[in-house]
Amino acid sequence: MQLLRGAWKILVAIKDGLVLLFMLLFFALLYMALTISPNPVVPTSGALHLDLDGVIVEQPEEADPLTLLSGGADAVQQHRLRDIVRALETAATDDRITAVALDLDGFLGGGRSAIAEVADAIQLVRDADKPVIAYATGYGDSAYLLASHASEIWVNPMGGALILGPGGNQLYFGDLLDRYGVTANVFRAGQYKSAVEPFTENRMSPEAREASQALADTLFEIWREDVARARPAAELDAIIASPADTIEAANGDLATAARQTNMVDHLGGRAEWAARVAEVSGESAVANNSGFQSIALANWIAANPVSGGSEKIGIVTVAGTIVDGEAPPGTAGGETITQLIEQASDAHDFAALVIRVDSPGGSALASERIRLAILAAAEAEGDIPIVVSMGNLAASGGYWISTTGEHIVAEPATITGSIGVWSLIPSFEGTLAQWGVNSDGVETTPLSGEPDIAGGLSPEVERLFQAGTEDVYRRFLSLVSESRDMTTERVDEIGQGRVWAGATARQLGLVDQFGNLDDAIAAAAERAEIDASDVQRVYIEQQPSGFAEFLRNLSRDDTANTQVSDPWSLLTPDPRAILAQARAEIGLLINGPVMQARCMECPADIVPGRRNIEDSPQLSLFQWIFG
């Protein structure tokens, strides 16, 4: 028996040793895979295949390792804006690129300013006398804005183009909450801070309607002007004013209607489009899906890294909803960004800081935490200049952070402002009463057991929260007043929680200059008295997990067919979106946080942090604004 026990121990020891050896070998190979930089293969010539399946964002989310390990993939692919722009800018001047194949099948959009920036980069390629040949089955607003800058626009004969324009509906839960006895205790500062209206009303207030209509009209006018300049032959007025008449004139054929109104140049399937690209780029020498000599976007980006100079400018990325504590890429965690700023300040000698904001706001506390960290870093470097670059969104808490800048650069279509604060606490006294449940107790102070969500908030607590909300709003006004050299009365007048397009915000003095990130860096270099051509960009942002990226690369199927929809799908809302909106807004009511500087009127479909439609944090009034 002892001999058997001894043999068993030896076998167990061998087994444990083999398991340990296997684990060490596995992690060694994993480490090698994560640390070895791939050598991008770039043909000597060909077309840059700009396949924009998915969305364009400022900062992509981190892939979910559990989803990838289970064999799934990200529901929506996310492309980093600055990577696409850099790829196009280098393509315009590099002789290896003979054309750009703009593949918009499966393109789901992005923010207006991001789309406009990519469109400008496409125009650079076209101005360099290189063909840009676009293709899609169905063109919506965002896809068509990009395509309008192409030299040729192809559409599937079963496809077409439909212009929806900004607008749409929002759900209102006031009557529903009343029916079930739920009280939405709302405290707000700002006449136009309509974010909490869905919990108290059954329709849009006149103030909210006025602000939303003005914003939508401004954004649509910017879109129309851009498309008209890029493609003057397109009969936009006809197809916008009466799309039904235009389509009926083509016997209901959307593709033919698009051709007759000069919205597109050619009708053809993907094979015909690929053959056209092959005419200028050559046929593919290897078997692939494209059918033409193509250069993959990822390879081209890897082969063209950003060159660095001797003068460092730190670029702090604040992308997504601003939340307290730590958060992954795509969400602006107050503690995460603060730590990144502190670490970068210790490691580098910066000549200036550029704050890249693409956020609808969120936690007022986290916004202030980030603001103070930026100011502390600038002071530690010797009071270096701070310039703000606004992306798609720099609203509410996003604008709070923007007050650090001595100069603010934004795009005309940037959504900004929303200078206001609101608080929200639900209570369920009516619900419990309907079930025959009552609450009672004792107290030692006016705040004992408060806020009482079972019995209802006391008048004392209501006064307390309203006073606190107004105090945070006054702090907001003071920050903007000092930053923009305005009186607090003037800031209050143009604040009040109202949302503005960048074009209007500049007229109001909330923005100094129109431009993109490059323009903001140039402005920072000028203020730091350094040569803009000698700048080294140091991005201060959270990097995605190497392990998650490794799994994403393993799971990526470059041969997979793009999921496309016919243009009629543009007019058919996804029922899941309505359910997701209802769930998200009720979740906001229940989960908080209580006090926020957040622009809930801003379109959430362009805010990072949404992995798929079911997980959408908020589908807002303008859920169709970037369709």
For the stretch 380-419, pLDDT in tens is 999 999 999 999 999 999 999 999 999 999 999 999 999 9
Which residue shows structure tokens 């293709």? Answer: 135
Does the structure show a pLDDT above 50 at 618?
Answer: no
The Cα–Cα gap between 142 and 541 comes to 27
What confidence category does residue 106 fall into, taking pLDDT thresholds of 50, 70 and 90? Answer: confident
Alpha-carbon torsion (302, 95, 87, 262), positive or negative: negative
Task: Give the residue, 194 or 257, on which the prediction is more confident.
Answer: 257
Q: What is the DSSP letter of 108?
A: E
Task: Give the residue, 172 or 478, on which the prediction is more confident.
Answer: 478
Does the structure show a pLDDT above 50 at 624?
Answer: no
What confidence category does residue 605 fall into, taking pLDDT thresholds of 50, 70 and 90? Answer: very low
Q: What is the pLDDT of residue 41?
A: 61
Residue 207 sits at the vertex; the CA angle it makes with 206 and 210, to the nearest 5 degrees, is 85
The Cα–Cα gap between 342 and 361 comes to 22
Does the structure show a pLDDT above 80 at 98?
Answer: yes
Q: What is the mean predicted confidence (pLDDT) over 22-42?
A: 55
User: pLDDT tens for residues 422-446?
Assistant: 888 888 999 988 999 988 889 899 8
The Cα–Cα gap between 58 and 319 comes to 7
The Cα–Cα gap between 292 and 143 comes to 22
The catalytic residue among 389, 396, 423, 481 is: 396
Alpha helices in 194-233 (DSSP H): 206-230
Q: What is the pTM of this model?
A: 0.85
Which residue shows structure tokens 């989310």? Answer: 61
Share of the chain above pLDDT 70, in %: 77
Q: What is the pLDDT of residue 580?
A: 66
Q: What is the pLDDT of residue 591?
A: 67
Bridge partners (DSSP) of residue 107 are: 54
Which residue shows structure tokens 């707000």? Answer: 188
Contact 175, 202 (CB under 8 A): yes
Annotation marks residue 130 as catalytic? no
| Amino acid, single-letter form, for residue 559 | T
Contact 290, 102 (CB under 8 A): no
97-103, strands of its sheet edge to edge: 266-267, 152-161, 132-139, 97-103, 46-51, 294-296
Does the structure show a pLDDT above 80 at 30?
Answer: no
| Amino acid, single-letter form, for residue 216 | A
Task: Give the residue, 468 or 547, on which the prediction is more confident.
Answer: 468
CA distances in angstroms from 134 to 107, 144, 273, 336, 567, listed in the order given: 12, 10, 8, 40, 16
3-state secondary structure labels for all residues of 251-264? CCCHHHHHHHCCCC
78-80, strands of its sheet edge to edge: 78-80, 54-57, 107-110
Beta strands in 111-224 (DSSP E): 132-139, 152-161, 183-189
CA distances in angstroms from 88 to 85, 130, 338, 410, listed in the order given: 5, 11, 33, 21
Contact 584, 617 (CB under 8 A): yes
Highest-pLDDT range among 68-72, 404-408, 575-579: 404-408
Q: What is the DSSP letter of 599?
A: -
Q: What is the pLDDT of residue 124?
A: 96
The Cα–Cα gap between 288 and 260 comes to 34
Q: What is the mean predicted confidence (pLDDT) over 347-362?
A: 95
Q: What is the mean predicted confidence (pLDDT) over 250-272?
A: 94
Q: What is the four-CA torsion angle of 184, 187, 191, 194, rounded to 10 degrees?
A: -40
Contacts of 144 (CB under 8 A, 6+ apart): 161, 163, 227, 263
What confidence category does residue 71 fall into, taking pLDDT thresholds of 50, 70 and 90? Answer: low
User: pLDDT tens for residues 301-341?
Assistant: 888 888 788 999 999 999 998 999 999 888 899 999 999 99
Does the structure show a pLDDT above 70 at 119?
Answer: yes
The Cα–Cα gap between 375 and 371 comes to 6
What confidence category does residue 608 fall into, taking pLDDT thresholds of 50, 70 and 90? Answer: very low
Backbone angles phi, psi at 615, to 5 degrees: -95, 10
Beta strands in 94-151 (DSSP E): 97-103, 107-110, 132-139
Alpha helices in 306-413 (DSSP H): 334-347, 364-380, 397-402
Tokens representing 366 are 């986290």
Bridge partners (DSSP) of residue 323 are: 333
The Cα–Cα gap between 26 and 38 comes to 20
Annotation marks residue 396 as catalytic? yes
Q: What is the pLDDT of residue 20?
A: 63
Of 190, 137, 142, 149, nearest to 163 by C-alpha is 142
Alpha-carbon torsion (253, 255, 258, 259), positive or negative: negative
Mean pLDDT, all residues of the chain: 83
Q: Can you tell me whether residue 248 is helix, strand or coil?
A: helix
The Cα–Cα gap between 539 and 331 comes to 16
Of 189, 272, 215, nearest to 472 by C-alpha is 189
Burial class (CB in 10 A: 0-12, 13-18, 19+), 488: middle
Tokens representing 6 are 């001894």
Task: For the beta carbon of residue 502, count every other beta carbon within 10 angstroms.
Answer: 28
Does the structure show a pLDDT above 90 at 555?
Answer: no
Report domain 46-166+217-303's class.
alpha beta
Does the structure show a pLDDT above 80 at 536?
Answer: yes
Q: State which H helix or E strand residue 597 sits in.
A: strand 595-598
Tokens representing 4 are 């058997």
CA distances in angstroms from 294 to 43, 78, 302, 617, listed in the order given: 8, 21, 15, 37
Instruction: Please report, for the chain, the start and end positions of each structural domain, with discontinuous segments joined by +.
Output: 46-166+217-303
Task: For the beta carbon of residue 309, count every other beta carbon within 10 angstroms.
Answer: 15
What confidence category does residue 9 fall into, taking pLDDT thresholds of 50, 70 and 90? Answer: low
**Longest distance between any two alpha carbons in the chain, whole Å:** 95
Q: What is the pLDDT of residue 627?
A: 30
Share of the chain above pLDDT 90, in %: 53
The Cα–Cα gap between 196 and 592 comes to 12
Q: What is the pLDDT of residue 561?
A: 45
Q: What is the pLDDT of residue 600?
A: 66
Q: What is the DSSP letter of 283?
A: B
Q: State which H helix or E strand residue 50 sits in.
A: strand 46-51
Does the structure show a pLDDT above 60 at 228?
Answer: yes
Of 459, 454, 428, nearest to 441 by C-alpha is 454
Q: What is the pLDDT of residue 613?
A: 33
The catalytic residue among 193, 284, 359, 423 is: 193
Tell me the pairing of strands 386-395 and 361-363: unpaired
